[in-house]
Amino acid sequence: MLEIKDLHASINGKEILKGINLSVKTGEVHAIMGPNGSGKSTLSNVLVGHPAYEVTRGSVTFDGKDLLAMSPEDRSHEGLFLSFQYPVEIPGVSMVNFMRTAVNEQRKYKGLPALTASEFLKLMRQKREVVELDSKLANRSVNEGFSGGEKKRNEIFQMAMLEPKLSILDETDSGLDIDALRIVAEGVNKLKTPETSCIVITHYQRLLDYIKPDIVHVLYKGRIVKTAGPELALELEEKGYDWIKKELGE
Amino acid sequence: MQLEPNKYVKELTREKYKYGFTTDIHTDIIDRGLDENVVRLISAKKNEPEWLLNFRLKAYRHWLTMDMPTWAHLTIPDIDYQAISYYADPTRKKEGPKSLDDVDPELLKTFNKLGIPLEEQLALSGMAVDAVMDSVSVKTTFKETLMEKGIIFCSISEAVREHPDLVKKYLGSVVGYRDNFFAALNSAVFSDGSFVYIPKGVRCPMELSTYFRINAAGTGQFERTLIVADDDSYVSYLEGCTAPMRDENQLHAAIVEIVVLDRAEVKYSTVQNWYPGDAEGKGGVYNFVTKRGICKGEGSKLSWTQVETGSAITWKYPSCILSGDNSTAEFYSVAVTNNYQQADTGTKMIHLGRNTRSTIVSKGISAGRSQNSYRGLVRVAERADGARNYSQCDSLLLGSECGAHTFPYMDIHNETAVVEHEATTSKISEDQLFYCNQRGISTEDAVGLIVNGYAKEVLNKLPMEFAVEAQKLLSVSLEGSVG
Amino acid sequence: MKAEQQYIDLFTQYEALLCRNSAEAMNAPRAKAFADFERLGFPTRKEEDYKYTEVGKYFAPDFGLNLNRLEFPVNPYEVFKCDVPNMSTSLYFVVNDTFDKHVHPSAQLPEGVLFGSLKEMARLYPDLIKSYYGKLADTSQDGLTAFNTMFAQDGVLMYVPSGVVMERPVQLVNILRADVDFMVNRRLLVIVEKDAQAKLLVCDHAMDNVNFLSTQVTEVFVGENAVFDLYELEETHNSTVRFNQLFVDQQAGSNVLLNGITLHNGTTRNTTRVTLSGERAEVNLCGMAIADKNEQVDNNTFIDHKVPGCTSNELFKYVLDDQATGAFAGKVLVRPGAQHTSSQQTNRNLCATREARMYTQPQLEIYADDVKCSHGATVGQLDENALFYMQQRGIPLKEARLLLMFAFVGEVIDCIRMEALKDRLHRLVEKRFRGELNKCQGCAICK
């Protein structure tokens, strides 16, 4: 589904990603772990096309299409979703208006007719239940005045609405208490189908107790330095990242 | 809170302006009044070259065509420019003293009393001083030490003689003599002030400072300072000032010009403590100052920090022209007014270059019957892509008879600019005072504490020794403002 | 005194005619206004309050004036058919400065309420008009006020006697209509007495493709505990110049909402002066401007906190495109003794192009210590992070920008205390941003 080859990317002239190779197949859950500053968030931002990052080398294909050539909105329409680490607040834009525009733009891209107001509201209601999102939140401005947990739940709610093929969860566990973490993780699991894939970016094992990865990668200094099964995450939890640095001869 | 603003003020200000003494020294004062002959006389006394005399005369003639500005939120009594003497020399010598032995012991005593020892061995660590009394520089310390690094630090009169090319190149290049009424006046009659040149790549190893002292009665002070920081250099410059307590008002109209070249950085800090007048508003210095710097070079940086506690009237807007791409400017100000003081102060940030950034933090504190205004302009020119400005102006009112005013102007001519201005007005809450009282802190001390906390953001920008001094000054200036 | 001279001559020559076609109460201050105008002339940019708008040059060309009160051949009810559902206003028309005599069936006024031609009302109720007319609009301070007072012959009176609560808002549609370049000097007088409540919506339109210059002076007196909303919507065209001066005086406990919206215009200068004369009075003053091409919008506001315990909230937003120029100057004065004043002012602006210019000048002048006052002003662009977030959710950049722009001005529309008008404006603004509202489409409110 996703094929990353020798990806180099920089921000403000500083190279952060120094040759990433990664292949995610349909139905797989990948975890990307790594110490702070290793390039985890850069990777997710580059994949969804954040304008601040510049790809200097390499290629990314998504379902066989050249992802890097697409606008951010078309990447979304193709089925790529990022749950942001820090979802932005958009004062004055209601959740309903925001989501309706997003859903209908996707439908337009796919050649489907726009949903009517009542169809849309029905869909909102259904999907809200996935993450137990309060109906009041849905009537507020996007993320405005939401608590940390509410913002993350809102991300998963939007994921439910847009039904992406590949979801990237960027530090979705940060700032969540245990109950919120459970709700968010259960939401993600409910949405998971054999046709969809998921990349979980996290610092800790915690989230991986709920969302079981098939493959775990360690990202360090802009490269994937280790790839193994779920046991790698446990090992990292136990030993920290220092042993990897040692292994790399640092 | 029961406010009796003038209850203690009378005794306190009398005793608290500890710089209010006069020095009894023979001073060569020229006759009062101003005409072309006076301009020629000043120039002659300083043995100036022809070009400078011409500069003065042009300025004088232009000044004659101008009127005093009236746009400031100030009530300025009529000033009789013919009743002022424009030159007073307490050194009685034709040239500045060559060594300490030449300096009149009375002058040394005066500066010692002001806490500015002119003997290098007694000096505050890491600080070189140019001491200016009335119209003449008395002594510049560490001149030779600095010269070893190629740094020029001397009085502007000396610079005119020793470094005419530099002075000629930069004098009036930032503040032209037509700039405003007081700038024209200063350009015609300016006396001493400091000249600083930091050569390419040099980081000035010590703080440079000028201490201005008005002593003689019936005179005005018109100093002129010029700082040039060449490519990749750095300097931190401090300015302090005091004057004796006199019942008459004294005029101070200075110009400071700063030129900052590629990647250079200049920090300019002022603690202005001219005599503010007494509790009835009698006497005090009229402080009309034009300070402006240009960030001429790519990536250059200029930072103004000012603590304004003195003067009966302050009219002062240290400004920055950000013409170099990626240049940065800052303005940090605390202005305190008490009794009948009036201040109209702020800054101008003129963004001309790309990706230029400026920050303005202004804290006004008004007490007594004083009026305290912030006036600022942020202009983003068409070419200044990516310009950013953030301004914050807070006013604190102590007492119900004072005024606090904010007049910011924003002129934006570029769509990529991001400019933000915020202003708030508040008073010290009874809860805060009561909390301090309960902890055994007197109301007066509590006000001092709270005000210092309020001004901290600005005070932190000052060099250490100055910051401590400024903190004390804030408390002292406000003593008696809360009953 | 170039531009002034022709008006000085005109007045000297036609004073008798002007007076004959007006009413005594309106004639009374004319001579003094003339003297003031001769002394002051038009304001110049040297004056702080007119820094951003040159006045004289707009008066220099030759404009037609209807001093003889000739009737213009237009039946507004044929041009404007009000079909906004749920709006249910009492609808009136003014053509240039003449109150239209045909009364619309929708007009329903509670007993005691007067609404009609100022000239006629001044003849019917001379004492009422005399005790209010010209009392707020001081001709000795401002040449434009003097000018309007010199030449105004008619306008509109709204009088709501004490205790009367008007459920139905009144809508007044001003139509500029002429075959030659034309000048209109109009007067509005609003008196909302003690405990009364009323809402007035004024829409400005220009019908013909000629150059219009209109001056309007509005005086609003709001009595104790009265509630009054004034909405002014301008939808004229690029060759309209409008000088609008609004003076409001509020007594104790009154609550006033002023909302001025510029959707389409040529050059507009709105001057608003609010005096909070009674304790606990509250004013909410807001406005927005969407300007493109060479449009200019200058809002100059002044709120005078004269007494303790009053509240003022101010919110102005501008969206500037092409070569449009926006200016906002807002002064808040807290007089000595006006303790417990609460005052908030916000001005936010978006510039979309290099050529668009924004000048903003919030000002606080405070002479009392126990007050809560703040102001904030920003000029900037749409939040890039928000734009990217929306793109990630599949919303195209163009659409994301529009959403953020609606949200930006939406805050001003949401201040409106009339649901139907709010909805209508949301739709109008969306159309405006999408470029579907290219010029005045007649009364967009009513059409």
CATH of the domain at A19: 3.40.50.300
Mean pLDDT computed over every residue of chain B: 86
Q: Which residues contact B15 (CB under 8 A, 6 or more apart)?
A: none
* Bridge partners for B358 per DSSP: B329, B389
Region of poorest pLDDT, from A66-75, B129-138, C184-193? B129-138
Other residues' Cβ atoms within 10 Å of the Cβ of residue C246 = 24
Residue B8's pLDDT is what? Answer: 32
pLDDT band at B443 (very low <50, low <70, confident <90, very high): confident
Domain span at A237: 2-92+166-247
pLDDT band at B353 (very low <50, low <70, confident <90, very high): very high
| H-assigned helices in C194-324 | none
Residue C244's pLDDT is what? Answer: 97
Region of poorest pLDDT, from B245-259, C182-196, C343-357, C427-441? C427-441
Chains that touch B (3 or more CB pairs under 8 A): C
Q: Please list every residue in chain B whose beta carbon sits closer than 8 Å to the beta carbon of residue C336.
A: 400-401
* Bridge partners for B416 per DSSP: none
Tokens of B395: 């006013």
Cβ–Cβ below 8 Å for A102 and C397? no
The 10s digit of each residue's pLDDT in C80-111 is 644 344 567 888 889 888 998 777 666 779 99
Sign of CA dihedral B443, B445, B449, B451: positive
Residue C82's pLDDT is what? Answer: 41
User: Of B285, B23, B252, which is closest to residue B135 (Cα–Cα)?
Assistant: B252
Whether C293 and C323 have beta carbons less than 8 Å apart is answered as: yes
pLDDT band at C441 (very low <50, low <70, confident <90, very high): very low
Give residue B418's region: left, alpha or beta (phi > 0; psi -120 to 50). beta
C-alpha separations of B189 from A93, B40, B248 in Å? 61, 9, 21
Whether B318 and B347 have beta carbons less than 8 Å apart is answered as: yes
C-alpha separations of B319 from B40, B289, B291 in Å? 31, 11, 6
Q: Return the domain boundaries, chain C.
A: 2-379
Is residue A136 domain-resident?
no
Residue A209 — φ and ψ, nearest 5°? -65, -30
Whether B481 and B368 have beta carbons less than 8 Å apart is answered as: yes
Share of chain C above pLDDT 90, in %: 73
In B158-299, the DSSP E strands lie at 194-198, 207-213, 220-221, 224-229, 234-242, 249-252, 255-260, 265-272, 284-295
For residues A110-139, average pLDDT: 87
For residues B343-359, average pLDDT: 96
Give residue B115's region: left, alpha or beta (phi > 0; psi -120 to 50). left
Whether B338 and B369 have beta carbons less than 8 Å apart is answered as: no
Instruction: Choose, out of C378, C387, C392, C408, the residue to mutate when testing the contact with A (most A CBs < 10 Å).
Output: C392
Are 3 or more Cβ–Cβ pairs between A and B shorter than 8 Å? no
By CA distance, what is C363's nearest residue in B?
Answer: B407
Tokens of C447: 């059409």
C-alpha separations of B312 from A13, B216, B282 in Å? 53, 18, 9
Is residue A135 domain-resident?
no
Asked if C386 has any chain A CB less than 8 Å from its own CB, the reply is yes
Residue A140's pLDDT is what? Answer: 87
Is B255 a residue whose pLDDT tops 80?
A: yes
For residues B118-145, average pLDDT: 75
Secondary structure of residue A26 in the 3-state scheme: coil
Distance in angstroms between the alpha carbons of the first and the last residue of chain B: 9
Environment class of A140 (CB within 10 Å of its CB; exposed 0-12, middle 13-18, buried 19+): middle
The 10s digit of each residue's pLDDT in B373-423 is 999 999 999 999 999 999 999 999 988 889 999 999 999 999 899 999 999
Pick A196 or B13 by higher pLDDT: A196
For residues C61-84, average pLDDT: 70
pLDDT band at B220 (very low <50, low <70, confident <90, very high): confident
Chains that touch A (3 or more CB pairs under 8 A): C
Other residues' Cβ atoms within 10 Å of the Cβ of residue B33 = 14
Whether B27 and B90 have beta carbons less than 8 Å apart is answered as: yes
CA B117 to chain CA mean position, Å = 21
Distance in angstroms between the alpha carbons of the first and the last residue of chain A: 34
pLDDT band at A74 (very low <50, low <70, confident <90, very high): very high
Residue A7's pLDDT is what? Answer: 96
Is B483 a residue whose pLDDT tops 80?
A: no
Pairing of strands C212-222, C342-351: unpaired
| CA separation for the pair B434, B442 (Å, rounded) | 10
Best-predicted range by mean pLDDT among B424-433, B451-460, C187-196? C187-196
Instruction: Choose, out of C393, C403, C405, the residue to mutate when testing the contact with A (most A CBs < 10 Å).
Output: C393
Q: Which amino acid is at B208?
A: L
Is B481 a residue whose pLDDT tops 70?
A: no
Buried b (16+ CB within 10 A) or exposed e, B249-272: bbbbbbbbbbbbbbbbbbbbbbbb
Q: Please list every residue in chain A whose beta carbon sits closer than 8 Å to the beta carbon of residue C394.
A: 73, 76-77, 102, 105-106, 109, 162
Tell me the longest C-alpha to C-alpha distance in chain A. 61
Residue C347's pLDDT is what? Answer: 95
Cβ–Cβ below 8 Å for B425 and C374? yes
Side-chain-side CA neighbours of residue C115 (13 Å): 25
Is B11 a residue whose pLDDT tops 50?
A: no
Residue B124's pLDDT is what? Answer: 61
Number of domains chain A is built from: 1
Residue B482's pLDDT is what? Answer: 57
Is B32 a residue whose pLDDT tops 80?
A: yes
Tokens of B275: 């005599």
Residue A41 — φ and ψ, nearest 5°? -70, -30
User: Of A196, A99, B261, which is closest to residue C389 (Cα–Cα)?
Assistant: A99
Mean pLDDT computed over every residue of chain C: 90
| CA separation for the pair B370, B401 (Å, rounded) | 8
For residues B437-459, average pLDDT: 83
Side-chain-side CA neighbours of residue B212 (13 Å): 29
Region of poorest pLDDT, from B38-47, B225-234, B273-282? B273-282
Q: Which amino acid is at C224?
A: E
Residue C447's pLDDT is what? Answer: 36
Is B436 a residue whose pLDDT tops 80?
A: no
Using the structure block, give the residue that is written with the tokens 């163009």: C398
Counted across chains A and C, CB pairs separated by less than 8 A come out at 77
Whether C248 and C217 have beta carbons less than 8 Å apart is answered as: no
For residues B59-86, average pLDDT: 92
Region of poorest pLDDT, from A48-62, B93-107, B169-183, C421-435? B93-107
For residues C429-437, average pLDDT: 83
With residue A29 as reference, give the H or E element that holds it. strand A29-33
User: Of C218, C216, C214, C217, which is closest to residue C230 (Cα–Cα)?
Assistant: C218
By CA distance, what is C408's nearest residue in A?
Answer: A92
Cβ–Cβ below 8 Å for B420 and C351? no
Share of chain C above pLDDT 70, in %: 93
Asked if the ipTM is above 0.90, the reply is no
By CA distance, what is A80's nearest residue in C?
Answer: C392
Region of poorest pLDDT, from B221-225, B317-321, C219-223? B221-225
The 10s digit of each residue's pLDDT in C306-357 is 999 999 999 999 999 999 999 999 999 999 999 999 999 999 999 988 889 9
Is residue A113 domain-resident?
no
Pairing of strands B127-133, B136-140: antiparallel
Number of residues in chain A = 250
Whether C402 and B450 have beta carbons less than 8 Å apart is answered as: no
For residues A142-158, average pLDDT: 89
For residues C67-83, average pLDDT: 65
User: Of C307, C303, C259, C312, which is closest to residue C283 (Cα–Cα)?
Assistant: C312
Residue B334's pLDDT is what? Answer: 93
Among A48, A50, A92, beta carbon nearest to C407: A92
By CA distance, what is B397's nearest residue in C?
Answer: C369
Pick B153 or C437 by higher pLDDT: B153
Is A196 a residue whose pLDDT tops 80?
A: yes
Tell me the residues of A at the C interface, defined by beta carbons under 8 Å apart: 48-51, 71-73, 75-77, 81-82, 84, 87-93, 97-99, 101-102, 105-106, 109, 141-142, 158, 162
Are 3 or more Cβ–Cβ pairs between C and B shorter than 8 Å? yes
Radius of gyration of chain B (CA): 22
Let me know how many helices (H) and strands (E) chain C has, helices first.
11, 19
| CA separation for the pair A1, A166 (Å, rounded) | 8
DSSP letter for C165, please: B
Number of residues in chain C = 447
Environment class of C34 (CB within 10 Å of its CB; exposed 0-12, middle 13-18, buried 19+): buried
Is residue A120 domain-resident?
no
Tokens of B479: 């003593």
Tell me the longest C-alpha to C-alpha distance in chain C. 70
In C154-254, the DSSP E strands lie at 154-160, 170-176, 182-192, 197-206, 212-222, 227-235, 240-250
Best-predicted range by mean pLDDT among B118-127, B129-138, B208-217, C368-377? C368-377
Best-predicted range by mean pLDDT among B125-134, B408-417, C136-145, C354-363? C136-145
